[in-house]
């Protein structure tokens, strides 16, 4: 049955206008402008939703998530159902997860992640972690294209576990360039981190703030410029993930002004929190890598978003229980998963990650758009349209266009809530934004034309999400 959403204010990455959206099946059939298009309701045989006074945006795309990820003897507490459900309540309808690079090779690794994602509740795709490199791996990289994966992630930190040396990264960039692929980079200085962690532990410094002290911002700054330099020397495109330091924005701007094909992402945690939060009694809640920085870094990141230096806002969603010894009730059942209490006596044993996939859009609506830090059109660009373009999903995703998937969010711009665990739907026991006043929330969320969130009602289900095979993306 067709669906007509009438009288809404549509917000895209480039314009804001009043209009109607006609949905047929899973796609947008047409966008009707009331002043120029004539549409007779008496001839319409379908459902009608009146969106008067409401805003309509494309469904959010989170380009950086981790579901069901093993770490430090436990696993991230959201899987490909619970995390997707939380994303949907927050207005996100597509997520891109990272596949762990297993010794058995890329095909085995991807199949394992596809099995995990059989319970997917929204649409999804994968990036491939590249955490070992040799001639055999080099030959296998192009095979990812047939699997619909066009992105590789490399690390300049996590020595002995995830890190590649610069020579291997350089070779991977050349292969990516030859095959129209994009390399994503986690930029910190692994050697410096290893030295500082050893010194901190030897001195008896074990509390959460030492996670930040042992991962200095300058390591991220120089690593960002180093990856930009390799991008220029190979002609490849690079995307710097979870940028957290103001100096990284400066390096990104420096490189982009010189024509280097490098792009940047930040996350909500780096816009609102600082190392001071790690000093709190519950500081482990804010442990993620890279860590929070300073208020000056917050400000510079916002500037980078406003002036176009940064291209996207992801989340790096990877939640763990704050106290995994105490169960919570999720969908009527008690569940407890070991979490950050594992490192109560040693910051190096605190699982790195935090919940955010459901928080991103509501928090940015209030503290980004309403606070005047970014415009509504920038909000859509940074959280939906740009990720779709960069990661080869546009215009199927990230757009309000005829032929696009009908992934839509109808916003109630006046709904006021005291935000927190009750609104986030993450399968964990805390929320970073607990008690924050939010004005403007998703009211209805559609995935390919199907209503999956209606107020506080969950109408979605396990297995309804589709795997998205991606082609080459754009360099923005």
SS (H, E, C) the chain: CEEEEEEEEEECCCCEEEEEEEEECCEEEEEECCCCCCCCHHHCCEEEEECCCCEEEECEEEEEECCCCEECCEECCCCCCHHHHHHHHCCEEEEEEEECCCCCCHHHHHHHHHHHHHHCCCEEEEEEECCCCCHHHHHHCCHHHHCCCCEEEEECCCCCCCCCCHHHHHHHHHHHHHHCCEEEEECCCHHHHHHHHHHHHHCCCCCCHHHHHCCCHHHHHHHHHHHHHHHHHHCCCEEECCCCCHHHHHHHHHHHHCCCCEEEEECHHHHHCEHHHHCCCCHHHHCCCCCCECHHHHHHHHHHHHCCCCCEECCCECCCCCCCCCCEEECCEEECCCCHHHHCCCHHHCCCCECCCCCHHHHHHHHHHHCCCCCHHHHHHHHHHHHHHHCCCCCCCCCCCCCCECCEEEEEEEEEEECCHHHHCCCCCCCCCCCCEEEEEEEEEEECCEEEEECCEECCCCCCCCECCCCCCCCC
Question: pLDDT at position 397, please?
Answer: 98
Work out the end-to-end distance of the chain between its first and last CA atoms, rounded to an integer number of angstroms.
37
pLDDT of residue 281: 96
286 close to 432: Cβ distance less than 8 angstroms: yes
Residue found under tokens 């045989």 = 45
Residue 114 makes CB contacts below 8 A (sequence gap 6+) with 467
Q: Give the Cα separation of 324 and 341 in Å (integer).
A: 7
Say whether pLDDT at 37 is over 80: no
According to the model, what pLDDT value does residue 44 have?
82
Could you name the CATH architecture of 2-57+399-424+431-458? Roll (2.30)
pLDDT at residue 436, as a whole number: 98
Please say whether the structural domain 60-390 has been given the CATH code 3.20.20.140: yes
Q: CA separation (Å) from 372 to 73, 95, 268, 378?
A: 43, 27, 16, 11
- Report which of 158, 177, 184 is spatially closest to residue 312, judged by C-alpha positions: 184
The pLDDT > 90 percentage for the chain reads 96
Q: Beta strand 55-58 with 2-11: parallel, antiparallel or unpaired?
A: parallel
CB 67 within 8 A of CB 94: no
Q: What is the mean pLDDT of residues 239-267?
A: 98
Between CA 360 and CA 352 the distance in angstroms is 19
Question: What confidence tens digit (pLDDT) does each residue in 48-107 have?
Answer: 999 999 999 999 999 999 999 999 999 999 999 999 999 999 999 999 999 999 999 999
Which pLDDT does position 39 carry in this prediction? 61
Find out whether 319 and 69 touch, Cβ atoms under 8 Å: no
User: What residues does each domain of the chain span?
Assistant: 2-57+399-424+431-458, 60-390
Q: Looking at residue 401, what is its pLDDT?
A: 98
pLDDT of residue 409: 98
Residue range 155-159: mean pLDDT, rounded: 97
User: pLDDT-derived band of residue 33, with 50, 70 and 90 as boundaries?
Assistant: confident
Tokens 């229980």 appear where?
321
- Full-model pTM: 0.97
334-349: pLDDT as tens digits: 999 999 999 999 999 9
pLDDT attached to residue 284? 98
Q: What is the mean pLDDT of residues 268-280?
A: 98
pLDDT tens, 393-404?
999 999 999 999
pLDDT at 336: 96
Q: Please determine whether the domains at 2-57+399-424+431-458 and 60-390 fall in the same fold group of CATH.
A: no
Q: Is residue 210 a contact partner of residue 347, using CB atoms and an 8 Å limit?
A: yes
Contact 287, 342 (CB under 8 A): no
Per-residue pLDDT band at 40 (split at 50, 70, 90): low
Range 174-199 average pLDDT: 98
CA-based radius of gyration for the chain? 22
pLDDT on residue 36: 60
Q: Can you give the pLDDT at residue 160?
A: 93
Q: Which residue has the tokens 């986030």?
A: 424
pLDDT recorded at residue 43 = 75
Phi, then psi, of 286 in degrees rounded to 5: -100, 10
Q: Name the band, by pLDDT with cuts 50, 70 and 90, for residue 422.
A: confident
User: According to the model, what pLDDT value does residue 38 have?
Assistant: 57
């Amino acid at each position: 049955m067709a669906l007509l959403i009438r009288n809404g204010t549509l917000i895209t990455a480039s314009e804001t206008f009043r209009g109607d959206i006609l949905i047929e099946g899973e796609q947008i059939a047409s966008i009707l402008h009331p002043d120029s298009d004539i549409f007779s309701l008496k001839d319409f045989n379908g459902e009608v939703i009146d969106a008067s006074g409401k805003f309509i945006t494309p469904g959010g795309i989170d380009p950086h998530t981790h579901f069901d990820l093993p770490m430090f003897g436990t696993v991230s507490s959201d899987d490909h159902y619970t995390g997707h459900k939380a994303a949907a309540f927050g207005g996100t309808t597509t997520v891109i997860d990272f596949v762990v690079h297993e010794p058995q090779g890329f095909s085995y690794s991807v199949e394992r992640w596809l099995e995990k994602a059989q319970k997917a509740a929204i649409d999804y795709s994968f990036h491939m972690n590249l955490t070992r490199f040799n001639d055999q791996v080099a030959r296998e990289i192009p095979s990812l294209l047939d699997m619909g994966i066009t992105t590789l992630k490399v690390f300049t930190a996590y020595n002995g576990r995830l890190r590649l040396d610069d020579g291997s990264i350089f070779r991977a960039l050349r292969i990516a360039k030859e095959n129209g692929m994009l390399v994503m980079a986690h930029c910190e200085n692994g050697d410096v981190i290893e030295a500082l962690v050893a010194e901190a532990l030897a001195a008896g410094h074990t509390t959460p703030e030492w996670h930040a002290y042992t991962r200095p911002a300058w390591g991220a700054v120089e690593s960002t410029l180093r990856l930009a330099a390799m991008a220029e020397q190979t002609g490849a495109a690079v995307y710097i993930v979870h940028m957290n330091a103001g100096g990284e924005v400066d390096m990104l701007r420096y490189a982009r002004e010189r024509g280097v094909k490098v792009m940047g992402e930040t996350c909500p945690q780096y816009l609102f929190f600082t190392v001071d939060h790690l000093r709190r009694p519950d500081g482990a809640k804010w442990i993620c890598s890279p860590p929070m920085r300073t208020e000056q870094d917050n400000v510079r990141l916002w500037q980078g978003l406003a002036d176009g230096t940064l291209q996207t806002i992801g989340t790096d969603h990877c939640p763990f229980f704050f106290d995994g010894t105490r169960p919570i009730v999720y969908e009527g059942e008690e569940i407890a998963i070991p979490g950050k209490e594992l490192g109560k006596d040693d910051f190096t044993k605190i699982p790195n990650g935090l919940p955010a996939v459901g928080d991103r859009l509501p928090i940015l609506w209030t503290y980004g758009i309403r606070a005047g830090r970014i415009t509504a059109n920038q909000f859509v660009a940074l959280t939906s349209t740009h990720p779709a373009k960069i990661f080869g999903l546009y215009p199927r995703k990230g757009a309000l266009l005829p032929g696009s998937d009908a992934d839509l969010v109808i916003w109630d711009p006046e709904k006021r809530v005291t935000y927190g665990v009750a609104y986030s739907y993450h399968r964990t026991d805390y929320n970073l934004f607990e008690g924050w006043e939010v004005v403007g929330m998703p009211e209805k969320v559609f995935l390919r034309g199907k209503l999956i969130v209606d107020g506080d009602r969950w109408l979605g289900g396990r297995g309804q999400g589709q795997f998205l095979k991606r082609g080459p993306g754009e360099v923005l």
